[in-house]
A and B are shown apart, each in its own frame.
Chain A
Amino acid sequence: MERLTIPATERSPEVDFDFAGGRLSIRGESYPEDAAALFGPLFAALDRFLAASPGPAIRFDFELIYFNSSSAKALMNMFQMLEKAAEGGRAVTVNWIFAPEDETMREFGEDFSEDLSHVRFHLVATPPDGG
């Protein structure tokens, strides 16, 4: 599958879905005016990618500084898709990356991981620009 990259805007995150390498990431801030316009294409691509079975192992990095309610719902939907794929035998790792002092973002990571039992979910506190 072709790599899907979307540059960040003021209100939407940078997206890099490298399907061939099994490395996907969403970084930045997410409070788009039209959540469907942003997430619709991502869900469609992710759906097709996860449907291919057996697929490569997946590493998905979420490094969000800020997101609104629609984005939160979209993230939960995305986690559900990943959980299903993991349940179906796909090796899925999610890295929830946040700034060490950002307690709220850590808590959201913890909350989101509640529903995941097959996905390997890591909370990663990373200083800014720390890689």
Chain B
Amino acid sequence: MASGKPPDFNLFGAEEKVLAAAEGLERRVADGPEELRADVRALVEAYRRAVREQRRLVKVSDRLQGQLGTVNQELAKRTAEAEEALARLRDAQEQLVQTEKLASLGALVGGVAHEINTPVGIALSCASHLSDATAAIHRLFAADDIGVDDFQRYMDTAADTARLILANCERAAALIRSFKQVAVDRTTSERRRFDLAATIGATLDSLGPGLRQAGHTVTVACPAELMMESYPGALGQVLTNLVMNSVVHGYDQGVAGRLSIRVDQPDPVTVRLVYADDGKGIPDEYRARVFDPFFTTRRGSGGTGLGLHIAHTLVRGSLGGTLTVDSAPGRGTTFTLVMPVTAEERLSPG
């Protein structure tokens, strides 16, 4: 620091001393031959100039390093700003992902209601039929007009309706159980042990009404009892988004699609899930961008451009895997999801 420096400090003190000595030499040879004097004079002058040049060069060099320092500071500032902007963007993206998840949970609830309606409706009409038959046999019994045939018919009706009521109530209960698990998985994002085939089944059940209405069929080939230790909610969300992407973009109105899910294990610790549709395919110019956030060809008709991005983010994040796309116009679209059987525990799963 300046205060610790001797007040008479001179960066070029040594050079000035040499110069003074040279000038002394010049004076000492003043009486010598002219040729010698001229040579010494020239040497002293050259040295003087060399010292001046040295001073200038030090100045140039200091300036350059000063500028470099300023540029580095500016760079550090810009880097910090960019990082902050990136963090804000990630937060915003995360919020959008959560919003989108909630929206798809809403759709899920709609699907559930529709799906449960069928067995409940059957059970209800069976119960109503049993009630009517019971009232009729009750009247006959009260009038003491009951025959063996009447009683036999009633017994058959009661057995049939009770069986149907039981089966349909069991179906409804099973659906509710599976939807409950799907809903819990989607909202809590907890890692747990699950049967992959069952999770695929429950996810497709939740999508069932929409798929059936449009006439699409899904075939699943998944090894039984393939247990994973991962995030079933994330996986269900990924499958949902892939299927929805096919349904929304892959087929024109009235075209029935064939969707397929094939699961295999390239090695014991890895699961490969290949999801394919036989739809229109993705044009070359879009293919590289399908996982980009907010990339959509359907913004006007309600697309957010987040579906495949969320799928990609969940695969890369929670599931610890990779999601790749293969598609060509007219040849359908295939997504390949490769993930570990056991996902890493995450502090804040996406």
Interface residue from A68, A76, A80, A104 paired with B56 (Cβ < 8 Å): A76
Secondary structure class of chain A's binding surface, majority of residues = helix
Chain A residues whose C-beta falls within 8 Å of the C-beta of B99 in the assembled complex? none
Chain A residues whose C-beta falls within 8 Å of the C-beta of B57 in the assembled complex? 69, 72-73
Docked-complex contact B61 and A115, CB < 8 angstroms? no
Chain B residues whose C-beta falls within 8 Å of the C-beta of A104 in the assembled complex? 63
CA distance A63 to B67 in the complex (A): 19
Chain A residues whose C-beta falls within 8 Å of the C-beta of B63 in the assembled complex? 104
Taking the closest CB of chain B, its distance from the CB of A80, in whole angstroms, is 8
Docked-complex contact A108 and B64, CB < 8 angstroms? no
Interface residue from A68, A73, A108 paired with B53 (Cβ < 8 Å): A73
Chain A residues whose C-beta falls within 8 Å of the C-beta of B56 in the assembled complex? 72, 76, 108, 111-112
List residues 64-85 of chain A with CB under 8 A from any CB of chain B: 67-69, 72-73, 76, 80
Secondary structure class of chain B's binding surface, majority of residues = helix
CA distance A72 to B64 in the complex (A): 12
List residues 25-75 of chain A with CB under 8 A from any CB of chain B: 67-69, 72-73
Chain B residue at minimal CB-CB distance from A76: B53
Task: How many A-B residue pairs have C-beta atoms within 8 angstroms? Tell me.
Answer: 25
Say if the beta carbon of A114 comes within 8 Å of chain B: yes
| Binary per-residue interface labels of chain B (60-71) against chain A in the complex, 1 for a CB within 8 Å, 0 otherwise | 110110000000
B56, B57, B59 — most chain A CB neighbours (10 Å): B56
Taking the closest CB of chain B, its distance from the CB of A90, in whole angstroms, is 20
Number of interface residues of A (CB under 8 A): 13
| Binary per-residue interface labels of chain B (164-197) against chain A in the complex, 1 for a CB within 8 Å, 0 otherwise | 0000000000000000000000000000000000
CA distance A68 to B64 in the complex (A): 7
Interface residue from A69, A76, A108, A114 paired with B61 (Cβ < 8 Å): A69
Chain A residues whose C-beta falls within 8 Å of the C-beta of B52 in the assembled complex? 114-115
CA distance A115 to B219 in the complex (A): 90
CA distance A72 to B54 in the complex (A): 11
Taking the closest CB of chain A, its distance from the CB of B20, in whole angstroms, is 20
List residues 33-79 of chain B with CB under 8 A from any CB of chain A: 49, 52-53, 56-57, 59-61, 63-64
Chain B residues whose C-beta falls within 8 Å of the C-beta of A115 in the assembled complex? 49, 52
Chain B residues whose C-beta falls within 8 Å of the C-beta of A76 in the assembled complex? 53, 56
Taking the closest CB of chain B, its distance from the CB of A103, in whole angstroms, is 11
Chain B residues whose C-beta falls within 8 Å of the C-beta of A80 in the assembled complex? 49
CA distance A112 to B52 in the complex (A): 9
Chain A residues whose C-beta falls within 8 Å of the C-beta of B49 in the assembled complex? 80, 115
Chain B residues whose C-beta falls within 8 Å of the C-beta of A69 in the assembled complex? 57, 60-61, 64
Taking the closest CB of chain A, its distance from the CB of B308, in whole angstroms, is 41
CA distance A80 to B64 in the complex (A): 24
Chain B residues whose C-beta falls within 8 Å of the C-beta of A72 in the assembled complex? 56-57, 60
CA distance A72 to B56 in the complex (A): 8
Chain A residues whose C-beta falls within 8 Å of the C-beta of B53 in the assembled complex? 73, 76
CA distance A78 to B2 in the complex (A): 37
Taking the closest CB of chain B, its distance from the CB of A26, in whole angstroms, is 16
Taking the closest CB of chain A, its distance from the CB of B173, in whole angstroms, is 74
Taking the closest CB of chain B, its distance from the CB of A11, in whole angstroms, is 13
CA distance A80 to B56 in the complex (A): 14
Chain B residues whose C-beta falls within 8 Å of the C-beta of A112 in the assembled complex? 56
Taking the closest CB of chain A, its distance from the CB of B68, in whole angstroms, is 11
Taking the closest CB of chain B, its distance from the CB of A94, in whole angstroms, is 16
Q: Can you list 6 residue pairs at the A/B interface with Cβ under 8 Å? A: A67-B60, A69-B60, A72-B60, A104-B63, A108-B56, A108-B59
Given contact pairs A76-B56, A104-B63, a sample of 14 additional A-B residue pairs in the complex whose CB atoms are under 8 Å apart? A68-B60, A69-B57, A69-B60, A69-B61, A69-B64, A72-B56, A72-B60, A73-B57, A76-B53, A108-B56, A108-B60, A111-B56, A114-B52, A115-B52
Chain A residues within 8 Å of B, Cβ to Cβ: 67-69, 72-73, 76, 80, 104, 108, 111-112, 114-115
Chain B residues within 8 Å of A, Cβ to Cβ: 49, 52-53, 56-57, 59-61, 63-64
